């Protein structure tokens, strides 16, 4: 293992200049807190990690670089790779696309999204700058971990430049449901998804986000997942959840730091014996600050007995103040604080203590410590680390009120979970928290603390890196092997030496090209001549194994002495014998499926239904590109739900969605045929999803060849259908010398 290179929008610090004196200030924010902790606690050079680097946009001019580097080197042991971006371009990329399109949309504030083309163009350009900066520096063994929504297309851009790179991507904010994601212009959303899919491992905070992402990939890119894995183009990709943790020991330990204890004592003394409710958030509309204040106001109104007995310390950290949607909120919040204080204050008491600043770390911990209740009620939040930090800082007492819409709610179920938009719920939760008996507080806290301690930020990073290494390993196992001349010659040698051969060939897409109308895909003379020549050799058993129905196969190939398999194995006719059915069930199941498919025929011009004995299929080869595909995703989705708990199966084929009775497939049929004839040479070719069953079943027993690109279980790949006949002719041509070398190994 080599270097770990973290890539995020910004470097983890900003520059403070006082005359000639330069100092670096750590940025606040979840990602920085998490990764910095990991960096500070792992020593490069020990174990497997040789070096740690962080790459991001620099918030200082290029001229200051030498000074920054010197100041950084003084107290950091990780390298920095700055990206310098022109200010105007950066604004369009950061304030524009990242924070005025992706951020609002992904947090379900769709009405705030500004779909400006120039923003998207800047986003692509800056992602490109990152790719150009990092690509030439990458060395074998490096692991690149790209973070967050500002860099969603970087994985793909980097992959194009460095196809073998190890790339992880983690999204720190929610991935929204498909219905929200699809609001974006088509080109944008496809570019984003395709971009992220350049990574080997894609991580999210919660199971919901994973599912939302998988759904969008299915609907927009046509790729289905298999549990947490999916095949995209020629690569295996893993998508999983990694709920970010905190540096538990740092926070828990800081709570008993003497300086923190002293500050905490002062805060409490200043507020006499009043209970303290506390919250700290960046100024962001997603954090639900207005709703929180509304809930708090209602609490004061509804539960007057608590007046003068508590205070609410509301700390807001400045953030993104150049974006209008943020600036407006500040005014609204300040007005609301004024209204509440004006309405409920007495000479000696003010309910809200409002502060707009960045807190020094120890002061923040002292406030966590001093607070009887933390009121953390975002309207949406990828995770929310403040909630976890508050819990970690507890020394037994304290109550967490947490929004059920924060990712953290999935792990912190012992908190009082509230709906932040429901003022009644917020108000009653506050009274409940203020009155909670100490033993209950302790009990709830200790359960949550145990969980946070177990999966802390180090586990989080290690878990992600382990999975990344595992995916790479699986990819290596799966690498597609193109059938080259040497391998072809080996297969031919084996063919010529053998005496009892079995040749299994798929029909559409393998023996013949796809046709606009299925009934017109008749074999041409070249195919007929090949099959006839092969089957006239008594040492050959030729099997055409297809999804076609009996009448089509009979009409086209019935006159040849070959075995025919129809409907993926539901019926078969051994050479010189008659048709046999593998399944016999009533046709009733088709009615409901047909009705649904008919609806899609109406909604998608050019599509049509093909009905066979055991399968019913909806073809969309002749439809408008894009529309046909997106309808096929909808149909796939609908059918998958319809057939749950039945013995049916939906297959996402090549421009066709097919439903069939489960329990037979080409794999089982191929094995059965081979079992009956015990051949000493088996060749199997196919191009579609259903052929993968054969490739898997025949592993180690046959030469398996997949036609066309894409991941496959086959041993070899040929890139197009046009290569199939020449290849079969080359392998089976008996004229010419018999090579003397040993047969090509099957393994």
Catalytic residue among 506, 652, 665, 687, which?
A: 506
Q: Please report which residue ranges of 205-346 form alpha helices under DSSP H.
A: 207-221, 248-254, 258-270, 289-302, 324-344
172 binds ligand GDG (CB under 6 A): yes
Give the H/E segment covering residue 459.
helix 457-478
Of the residues 2, 29, 79, 710, which one makes contact with ligand GDG according to CB under 6 A: 29
Question: Euclidean distance between the first and final Cα of the chain, in Å?
Answer: 29
Angle 689-697/666-677 helices, nearest 10 degrees? 40
CB of 374 to ligand GDG, least distance (A): 12
Told to check if 739 binds ligand GDG by CB under 6 A, we report no
Instruction: Choose between 307 and 358: whose C-beta lies nearer to ligand GDG.
Output: 358
456 binds ligand GDG (CB under 6 A): no
Longest CA span, the chain? 108
Residue 2 or 29 with smaller CB distance to ligand GDG: 29
Q: Which range of residues in 29-37, 466-474, 592-600, 685-693 is near ligand GDG by CB under 6 A?
A: 29-37
Nearest approach in angstroms of CB 31 to ligand GDG is: 5
Exactly one of 385, 405, 491, 550 binds ligand GDG (CB under 6 A); that residue is 385
Burial of 49 (0-12, 13-18, 19+ CB in 10 A): middle
In sequence order, which residues have a C-beta less than 8 Å from that of residue 304 and are 6 or more positions away?
none
The 10 Å Cβ neighbour count of residue 654 is 14
Check binding of 44 to ligand GDG (CB under 6 A): no
* 714 contributes a contact to ligand GDG by CB under 6 A: no
Q: Which is nearer to ligand GDG, 65 or 361 (CB)?
A: 361
How far apart are alpha carbons 528 and 557 in whole angstroms?
8
Please report how close the Cβ of residue 101 comes to ligand GDG at its closest, in angstroms.
16
> Which parts of 270-289 interact with ligand GDG (CB under 6 A)?
280, 282
Q: How many whole angstroms separate alpha carbon 233 and alpha carbon 475? A: 12
Alpha helices per DSSP H over 521-603: 525-536, 550-557, 589-603
How far apart are the C-alpha atoms of 475 and 265, rounded to whole Å?
A: 56
Nearer to ligand GDG, 172 or 218 (CB): 172
R_g of the chain, CA atoms, integer Å:
32
Q: Does 28 bind ligand GDG (CB under 6 A)?
A: yes
Smallest distance, Å, CB 13 to ligand GDG?
A: 13
Q: Which is nearer to ligand GDG, 266 or 575 (CB)?
A: 266
**Least CB distance to ligand GDG at residue 372 (A):** 19
Q: Residue 249, interface with ligand GDG (CB under 6 A)?
A: no
Q: Is 506 a residue of the active site?
A: yes
Q: How many CA atoms lie within 13 A of 10 on its CB side?
A: 18
Determine the number of helices (DSSP H) and then strands (DSSP E) in the chain: 26, 29
> Is residue 317 a contact point for ligand GDG (CB under 6 A)?
yes
Binding region for ligand GDG (CB under 6 A) out of 14-22, 293-301, 354-362, 620-628: 354-362
Q: Which stretch binds ligand GDG (CB under 6 A): 28-36, 261-269, 302-310, 517-525?
A: 28-36
Contact (CB, 8 A) for 30 and 172: yes
Token pair 């902790």 is found at: 37
We find the least distance from the C-beta atom of residue 313 to ligand GDG, in angstroms, to be 12
> Residue 230 or 352: which CB sits closer to ligand GDG?
352
Under the binding rule (CB under 6 A), the answer on residue 35 touching ligand GDG is: no
- DSSP track, 406-457: BGGGGT-TTSEEE-TT-HHHHHHHHHHHHT--HHHHHHHHHHHHHHHHHT-H
Residue 658 near residue 651, CB atoms below 8 Å = yes
Site string for ligand GDG, 357-376 (x = CB under 6 A): -xx-x--x------------
Apex CA 616: angle with CA 615 and CA 619, to 5°? 125
Cβ closest to ligand GDG, residue 295 vs residue 382: 382
d(CA 497, CA 739): 9
Q: Which of 200, 372, 389, 652 binds ligand GDG (CB under 6 A)?
A: 389
Pick out residues in 411-430 that bind ligand GDG (CB under 6 A).
Answer: none
The structure tokens 């939906």 sit at 650
With contacts defined by CB under 6 A, name the span among 353-361, 472-480, 659-667, 671-679 that binds ligand GDG.
353-361
Write down the least CB distance from residue 389 to ligand GDG, Å: 5
**DSSP letter at 19?**
T
> Residue 389: in which H helix or E strand, if any?
helix 385-393
Question: Should residue 616 be labelled a site residue for ligand GDG when binding is judged by CB under 6 A?
Answer: no
CA 85 to chain CA centroid, nearest Å? 28
Residue 81's beta-bridge partner residues? 55
Least separation in angstroms between residue 384's CB and ligand GDG is: 5
323 scored as a contact of ligand GDG (CB under 6 A): no
Q: Which residues contact 420 (CB under 8 A, 6 or more apart)?
A: 288, 291, 292, 295, 377, 378, 379, 403, 405, 426
Q: Which range, of 25-33, 563-571, 586-594, 647-655, touches ligand GDG by CB under 6 A?
A: 25-33
The residue among 276 and 364 lying less far from ligand GDG, judged by its C-beta, is 364
Structure token pair of residue 631: 């309808």
SS3 content of the chain, % helix, strand, coil (to 5): 45, 20, 35
Task: Report in angstroms how near the CB of residue 364 gets to ligand GDG at its nearest.
Answer: 5
Which residue number, 32 or 534, has a Cβ lying nearer to ligand GDG? 32
Of these, 384, 475, 563, 704, which contacts ligand GDG (CB under 6 A)? 384
Contact positions toward ligand GDG, by CB under 6 A?
28-31, 33, 172-173, 244, 280, 282, 317, 358-359, 361, 364, 381-386, 389
The catalytic site residues sit at 506
């Amino acid at each position: 293992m080599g270097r770990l290179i973290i890539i995020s929008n910004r470097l983890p610090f900003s520059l403070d200049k006082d005359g000639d004196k330069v100092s670096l200030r750590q940025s606040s924010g979840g990602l920085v807190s998490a990764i910095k902790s990991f960096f500070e606690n792992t020593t490069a050079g020990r174990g497997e990690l040789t070096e740690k680097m962080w790459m991001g946009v620099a918030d200082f001019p290029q001229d200051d670089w030498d000074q920054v580097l010197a100041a950084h080197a003084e107290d950091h042991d990780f390298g920095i790779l700055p990206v310098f971006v022109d200010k105007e371009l950066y604004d369009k990329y950061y304030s524009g696309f990242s924070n005025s399109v992706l951020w609002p949309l992904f947090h379900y504030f769709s009405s705030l999204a500004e779909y400006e083309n120039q923003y998207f163009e800047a986003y692509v350009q800056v992602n490109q700058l990152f790719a150009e900066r990092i690509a030439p520096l990458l060395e074998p063994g490096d692991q690149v971990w790209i973070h967050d929504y500002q860099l969603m297309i970087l994985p793909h851009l980097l992959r194009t430049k460095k196809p073998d790179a190890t790339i992880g991507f983690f999204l720190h904010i929610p991935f929204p449901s498909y219905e929200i994601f699809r609001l974006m212009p088509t080109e944008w959303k496809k570019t984003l998804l395709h971009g992220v899919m350049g990574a080997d491992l894609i991580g999210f905070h919660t199971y919901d986000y994973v599912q939302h992402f998988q759904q969008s990939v299915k609907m927009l890119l046509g790729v289905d997942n298999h549990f947490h894995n999916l095949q995209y183009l020629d690569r295996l990709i893993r998508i999983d959840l990694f709920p970010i943790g905190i540096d538990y020991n740092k926070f828990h330990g800081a709570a008993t730091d003497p300086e923190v204890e002293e500050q905490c004592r002062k805060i409490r003394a200043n507020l006499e014996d009043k209970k303290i409710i506390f919250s700290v958030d960046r100024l962001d509309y997603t954090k639900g600050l207005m709703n929180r204040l509304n809930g708090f106001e209602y609490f004061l109104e509804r539960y007057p007995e608590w007046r003068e007995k508590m205070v609410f310390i509301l700390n807001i950290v400045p953030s993104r103040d150049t974006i209008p949607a943020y600036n407006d909120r500040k005014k609204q919040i300040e007005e609301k604080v004024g209204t509440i204080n004006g309405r409920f204050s007495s000479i000696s008491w003010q309910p809200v203590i409002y502060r707009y600043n960045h807190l020094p770390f120890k002061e923040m911990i002292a406030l966590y410590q001093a607070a009887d209740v933390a009121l953390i009620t975002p309207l949406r939040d990828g995770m929310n680390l403040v909630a976890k930090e508050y819990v970690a800082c507890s020394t037994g007492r304290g109550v967490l009120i947490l929004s059920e819409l924060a990712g953290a709610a999935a792990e912190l179920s012992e908190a009082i979970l509230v709906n932040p938009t429901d003022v009644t719920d917020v108000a009653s939760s506050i009274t409940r928290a203020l009155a909670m008996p100490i033993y209950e507080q302790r009990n709830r806290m200790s359960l949550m603390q145990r969980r946070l301690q177990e999966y802390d930020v180090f586990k989080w990073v290690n878990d992600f890196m382990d999975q990344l290494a595992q995916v790479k390993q699986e990819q290596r196992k799966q690498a597609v092997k193109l059938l080259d001349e040497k391998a072809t010659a080996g297969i031919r040698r084996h063919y010529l030496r053998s005496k009892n051969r079995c040749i299994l060939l798929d029909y559409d897409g393998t023996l013949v090209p796809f046709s606009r109308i299925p009934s017109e895909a008749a074999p041409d003379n070249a195919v007929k001549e090949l099959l006839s020549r092969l089957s006239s050799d008594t040492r050959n058993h030729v099997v055409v194994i297809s999804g076609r129905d009996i009448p089509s196969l009979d009409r086209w190939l019935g006159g040849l002495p070959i075995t025919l398999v129809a409907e993926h194995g539901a019926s078969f006719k051994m050479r010189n014998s008659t048709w046999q059915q593998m399944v016999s069930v009533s046709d009733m199941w088709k009615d409901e499926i047909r009705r649904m498919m008919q609806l899609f025929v109406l909604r998608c011009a050019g599509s049509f239904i093909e009905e066979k004995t055991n399968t019913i299929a909806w073809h969309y080869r002749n439809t408008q590109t894009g529309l046909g595909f997106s309808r096929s995703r909808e149909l796939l989705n609908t059918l998958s739900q319809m057939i749950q708990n039945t013995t049916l199966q939906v297959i996402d084929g090549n421009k066709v969605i097919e439903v069939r009775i489960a329990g037979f497939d080409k794999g089982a049929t191929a094995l059965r045929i081979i079992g009956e004839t015990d051949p000493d040479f088996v060749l199997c070719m196919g191009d579609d999803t259903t052929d993968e069953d054969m490739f898997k079943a025949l592993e180690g027993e046959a030469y398996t060849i997949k036609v066309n690109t894409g991941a496959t279980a086959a041993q070899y790949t040929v890139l197009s259908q046009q290569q199939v006949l020449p290849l079969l002719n080359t392998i089976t041509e008996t004229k010419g010398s018999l090579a003397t070398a040993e047969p090509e190994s099957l393994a």
